[in-house]
């Protein structure tokens, strides 16, 4: 039956690539505009030269999903880290998971790492080209490898998604111990795939295939295994602990004791949620008062057009989404408590962020064959399930757009909803301070950690910049307003310079047109300035072309559509996986045709003249 469901998925045009009041966030203070003197990090006192590092990466978490950023989910432990240290309100990641993870671990632009995009959406024309190996290319060095040379113990648990062939897994890139998933996602309760693209859930421990325990729940297990790793080795040495949570990637799942708290939170629908977050963003200073809110992308449904059953299902899905965020926070709290018990907390720097914005996929929107695949693999989308084993929940493009408020669009696209995510740092050397509105990026994390460990941040080794000048109160900005910063994944591209942003989004929700916005006045990206300010538009286009040339960005094939590409890549992958079944079916089919042909000939011969 499972094989039947998998074969049914061959024809699916899959779109999948994949309430108590929130904690009161502090008001956001705008930067003074003071530029840092350069990349060189300030001197760290000798007592802080070897701090521990805990890097916590959520999956598909929107800017306002955490309580401290104005979200509905209760996140007291992560909020406490923000109050202890610094939260950033203009932090940007790439719009897609693997490129962001490569950038975080290396401090380089994704194209320079070899991980320009993900296997699910790469067009055939790009496969194997420089920068498009979809694995770390020779010469790329991770922060784990750099810290290891400085005497650090290095550990990782959770989502890797950077390849699992020889030399691809964490053990080959500086990690002493690791228990990782090399896929875009997987079930959170069992070791099984979440989409037809994958035959199973490929977990690995220390570079070898691994089996999950029977009592597995992703956030709990990843923290438990990390606690075990931290207890190993020379306890006098500092450690790097990197956890890539599955929360809140599809399938959205969490224990019902977390999810049922939010059963009434989202019943007013996505338009009400998007407006409420936009209003809160103004109240707490994330955006200027009166900043316009973008209309939803074309093609999204009105909440009122859904049946009462559909409304109940999507409100339930969002409740599970919030519960999964709270469950992740709960297990972050367990890790913090462990470090306090063992005396490591005061010497540990925490980084919490997300790989990209919220996931818009609705796997059931375009094909009934996906429903057959879910049925044959033990999944249910019933509104009667509240996140436990077998639940298959997703928030869809409408609630993803609401979650991304006050930004436009969502994951995979280079509008604010896809790139603009939360980031928090706390620990020794980071004094509690108001939120920073300095423009920072995912490539800044690795050089920052190296600088905090006492290393030298070489301009040639990183594309990112150390955040230490901002964290130490020596600067209000990470980059000069004259420095341009680019992002590109599968044709969706953005370039930032000062308060200006150049952006292009491709199909299915984009149109391939370059647009220009001034984010200081228009963070919702509602007023295109390309015609009213042609000089600035030309300057930004020239800067983007220079960025693309330096980093080896390839242009997309004519008419590229990510949803069509994943459907094509899924069919190709499944055909390669199940070729023998297809061959047998072909032989049987030919046999039937031949049998019908012979039957027809006999019938004609017997017909009287």
What is the model's pLDDT at position 569? 84
- Of 77, 97, 126, 249, which one is the catalytic site residue? 97
pLDDT tens digits for 369-379? 899 999 999 99
Is omega for the bond preceding 251 within 30 degrees of 0, making it cis?
yes
474, 494, 529: which is the final residue of a domain?
A: 474
Distance (Å, whole) CA 111 – CA 136? 10
Beta bridge pairs of residue 407: none
Tell me, yes or no, if 126 is annotated catalytic: no
pLDDT at 187 over 60: yes
The residue behind tokens 């648990």 is 157
Residues sharing a CB contact under 8 Å with residue 316, sequence separation 6 or more, in sequence order: 263, 383, 386, 393
State which residues form the domain around 594.
579-609
CB atoms within 10 A of CB 73: 27
Residue 379: what pLDDT? 97
Q: Is the dihedral of CA 336, 339, 341, 347 positive or negative?
A: negative
Residue 505 lies in a domain: no
Count of the separate structural domains present in the chain: 2
Does residue 556 belong to any structural domain of this protein?
no
Strands (E), 219-315: 239-244
DSSP assignment string, 472-507: TTS-S-SS-TT-EEEEEETTEEEEEETTEEEEE--B
**Span 39-66, mean pLDDT?**
75
pLDDT attached to residue 16? 37
pLDDT digits (tens, 9 = 90+) for 547-605: 999 999 999 999 999 989 988 888 878 777 655 555 666 666 676 766 676 666 666 66
455 shares its domain with 586: no
| Domain assignment of residue 388, yes or no | yes
Flag whether pLDDT at 182 surpasses 70: yes
| pLDDT confidence of residue 566 | 87
Q: 402 in a domain, yes or no? A: yes
- DSSP code at position 29: P
Q: Which helix (H) or strand (E) holds 58?
A: strand 52-58
Catalytic hit among 111, 161, 164, 331: 161
Q: Is the pLDDT of residue 47 over 70?
A: no
Last residue of a domain, one of 474, 507, 530: 474
Domain boundary among 417, 440, 474: 474
What is the spatial distance between Cα 446 and Cα 93, in angstroms, rounded to a whole number? Answer: 13
Mean pLDDT of 496-522: 97
Do residues 46 and 347 lie in contact, with contact meaning Cβ atoms separated by under 8 Å? Answer: no
Q: Does 350 fall in a domain?
A: yes
Average pLDDT score over the chain:
90
Q: Are residues 470 and 592 in the same domain?
A: no
Q: What is the DSSP string of 399-450?
A: HHHHHTTTSSS-TTSSSHHHHB--EEEEBTTB---SPB---EEGGGHHHHHH
d(Cα 541, Cα 551) in Å, to the nearest integer?
15
Q: Residue 220: which pLDDT band, with cuts at 50, 70 and 90?
A: very high
pTM of the model: 0.89
| Helix or strand run (H / E) with residue 146 | helix 143-148
List the 484-489 sheet strands across, edge first. Answer: 484-489, 492-497, 500-504, 515-518
97 counts as catalytic: yes
Q: Does the pLDDT of residue 18 top 80, yes or no?
A: no
Is 39 domain-assigned? no
User: Residue 44 is encoded by which pair of tokens?
Assistant: 């760290």
User: Does residue 501 belong to any structural domain of this protein?
Assistant: no
For residue range 67-105, what is the model confidence (pLDDT) as tens digits?
Answer: 999 999 999 999 999 999 999 999 999 999 999 999 999
The residue ranking higher by pLDDT, 596 or 496, is 496
Which band of pLDDT confidence, cut at 50, 70 and 90, is reported for residue 459?
A: confident
Which contiguous run of DSSP H or E holds residue 94? none
Q: How many CB atoms lie within 10 A of CB 11?
A: 15
Confidence band for 30, pLDDT divided at 50, 70 and 90: very low
Handedness of CA 78, 81, 83, 88 (dihedral sign): negative
Q: Which DSSP helix (H) or strand (E) runs through 59?
A: none
* Residues 396-410, mean pLDDT to the nearest whole number: 98
In this structure, is residue 66 part of a structural domain? yes
| 461 and 593 both lie in a single domain | no
CATH of the domain at 366: 3.40.720.10
């Amino acid at each position: 039956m499972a094989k039947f469901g998998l074969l049914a998925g061959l024809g699916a045009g899959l779109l999948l690539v994949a309430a108590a009041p929130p904690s009161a966030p502090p008001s956001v203070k705008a930067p003074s505009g003071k530029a840092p003197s350069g990349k060189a990090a300030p001197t760290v006192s000798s007592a802080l030269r070897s701090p521990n590092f805990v890097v916590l990466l959520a999956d598909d978490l929107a800017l306002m999903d955490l309580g401290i950023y104005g979200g509905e989910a209760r996140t007291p432990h992560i909020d406490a880290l923000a109050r202890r240290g610094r939260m950033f309100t203009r932090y940007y990641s790439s719009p897609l998971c693997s490129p962001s993870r490569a950038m975080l671990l290396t401090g380089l632009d994704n194209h320079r790492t070899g991980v320009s995009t993900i296997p699910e959406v790469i067009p055939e024309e790009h496969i194997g080209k420089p920068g498009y190996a979809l694995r770390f290319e020779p010469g790329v060095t991770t922060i784990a490898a750099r810290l290891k040379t400085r005497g650090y113990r290095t550990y990782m648990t959770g989502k890797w998604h950077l390849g699992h062939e020889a030399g691809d897994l964490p053990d080959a890139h500086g990690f002493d111990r690791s228990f990782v998933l090399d896929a875009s996602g997987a079930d959170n309760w069992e070791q099984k795939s979440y989409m037809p693209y994958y035959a199973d859930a490929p977990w690995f421990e220390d570079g070898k295939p691994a089996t999950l325990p029977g009592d597995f729940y992703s956030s709990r297990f990843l923290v438990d295994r990390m606690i075990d790793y931290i207890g190993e080795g020379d306890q006098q040495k500092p450690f790097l602990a990197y956890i890539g949570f599955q929360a809140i990637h599809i399938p959205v799942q969490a224990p019902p004791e977390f999810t049922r708290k939010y059963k009434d939170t989202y019943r007013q629908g996505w338009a009400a949620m998007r407006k409420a977050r936009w209003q809160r963003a103004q109240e707490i200073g994330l955006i200027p008062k009166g900043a316009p809110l973008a209309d939803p992308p074309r093609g999204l449904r009105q909440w009122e057009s859904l049946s009462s059953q559909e409304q109940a299902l999507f409100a339930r899905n969002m409740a599970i989404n919030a519960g999964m965020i709270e469950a992740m926070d709960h297990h972050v709290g367990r890790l913090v408590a462990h470090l306090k018990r063992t005396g490591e907390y005061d010497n540990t720097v925490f980084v919490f962020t997300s790989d990209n914005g919220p996931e818009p996929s609705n796997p059931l929107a375009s094909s009934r064959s996906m429903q057959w695949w879910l049925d044959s693999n033990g999944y249910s989308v019933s509104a009667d399930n509240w996140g436990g084993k077998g639940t298959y929940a997703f928030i869809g493009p409408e609630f993803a757009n609401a979650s991304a408020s006050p930004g436009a669009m969502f994951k995979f696209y280079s509008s604010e909803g896809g790139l603009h995510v939360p980031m928090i740092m706390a620990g020794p050397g980071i004094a509690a301070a108001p939120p920073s509105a300095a423009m920072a990026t995912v490539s800044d994390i690795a050089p920052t950690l190296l600088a905090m460990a006492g290393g030298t941040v070489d301009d040639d080794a990183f594309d990112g910049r150390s955040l230490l000048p901002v964290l130490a109160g020596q600067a209000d900005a990470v980059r000069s307003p004259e420095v341009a910063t680019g992002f590109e994944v599968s044709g969706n591209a953005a370039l930032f310079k000062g308060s200006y942003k150049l952006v292009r989004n491709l199909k299915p929700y984009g149109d391939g047109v370059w647009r220009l916005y001034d984010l200081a006045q228009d963070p919702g990206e509602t007023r295109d300035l390309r015609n009213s300010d042609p000089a600035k538009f030309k300057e930004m286009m020239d800067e983007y072309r220079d960025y693309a040339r330096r980093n080896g960005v390839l242009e997309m094939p004519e008419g590229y559509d990510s949803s069509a590409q994943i459907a094509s890549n899924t069919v190709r992958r499944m055909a390669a996986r199940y070729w023998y079944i297809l061959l047998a079916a072909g032989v049987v089919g030919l046999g039937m045709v031949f049998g019908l042909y012979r039957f027809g000939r006999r019938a004609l011969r017997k017909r009287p003249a």
